[in-house]
Amino acid sequence: MPAVFMAALCAAVQAAGCRPPGEVRPDDIRTYTVARSATPAPATSAPAASLAPAVRYEVPDGWSDRGASGMRLATLVIGDPAAGHEVTVIPASGTLRSNVERWQDQLDAGASAADRAAAVDRALSEAETVDVDGTPATVVALFDTAAAAGPAAAGQAILGAMIPGTDASALFVKYKGDAAVARRERDAFVRFVASLRWQ
């Protein structure tokens, strides 16, 4: 009788869905409690100092600021953005003369080497020195052959500035475009260069 009773009891338990204590089934719901730390986890965001822009400056009247992108620490647009008159600020290396030679080549690639060298010499002799937070910077104006023919002549020009850095690199500011815009905006360009503060 007891054996029959035990067999019946086991059959009833299995029919009711009872199972051994260690068995896990898909309909099981288990909860776990994890103690919360009293000290909050450290913030993972970058320090505020690293979010500061690399350069600060004053935007001249009639210019608009497009901010930084890629190698450009700043891009500003003179007048109507659709006209594409941009002033860029980038860190780079090289001497003032080597960069002025490269800029003159961009304007007058078809000119003779002697003519390009004469244009570079002329631009450097007429260069302007600007104080940038205690550092002397050099501003040059370069013109292609057509624009160099006279103060009202049409053509292409480059306004460029070099601000020496603390190591081998320097900060270069550049406008390349219509000579008429370069002549008109030269004073604003110089003021912009003087306002730059390189972090």
Q: How far is CA 25 from CA 19, 28, 30, in A?
A: 10, 6, 11
Number of helices (H), then strands (E), in the chain: 4, 9
Chain-centre distance of CA 48, in angstroms? 17
Matching residue, tokens 């007058």 = 108
CB 91 within 8 A of CB 73: yes
Work out the burial of residue 161: count CB atoms within 10 Å of its CB; fewer than 13 is exposed, 13-18 middle, 19 or more buried: buried
| pLDDT in the model for residue 49 | 43
Give this prediction's pTM.
0.72
CB 196 within 8 A of CB 163: yes
CATH of domain 52-198: 2.60.120.1690
Strand partners, 115: none
Which pLDDT tens digit goes with each residue over 126-166? 999 999 999 999 999 999 999 998 988 999 999 999 999 87
More confident residue, 49 or 189: 189
| pLDDT in the model for residue 127 | 97
| pLDDT in the model for residue 66 | 94
Q: How confident is the model at residue 167 (pLDDT cuts 50, 70, 90)?
A: confident
* Mean of all residue pLDDT scores within the chain: 82
Residue 45 has pLDDT above 50, yes or no: no
| pLDDT in the model for residue 43 | 45
Q: Return the SS3 of 130.
A: strand
Per mean pLDDT, which range of 53-57, 63-67, 76-80, 101-105 is the poorest? 53-57
Q: How confident is the model at residue 47 (pLDDT cuts 50, 70, 90)?
A: very low
Which pLDDT tens digit goes with each residue over 119-133? 999 999 999 999 999
Across residues 167-193, what is the average pLDDT?
A: 95
| pLDDT in the model for residue 20 | 55
* Residue 42 tokens, joined: 């450290």
H or E element at residue 23: none
Q: What are phi and psi of 179, to 5 degrees?
A: -65, -35
Q: Where are the domains of the chain?
A: 52-198
Which is nearest to 178 in space by CA: 198, 152, 197, 199? 152
Residue 80 has pLDDT above 90, yes or no: yes
More confident residue, 22 or 134: 134
DSSP states along 36-100: PPSSPPPP-SPPGGGGS-SEE-PPPTTEEEEEEETTEEEEEEES-GGG--EEEEEEE-S-HHHHH
CA angle, 53 as apex, 47 and 59 as ends, to 5°? 155
| pLDDT in the model for residue 19 | 54
Across residues 59-83, what is the average pLDDT?
A: 95
CB 179 within 8 A of CB 143: yes
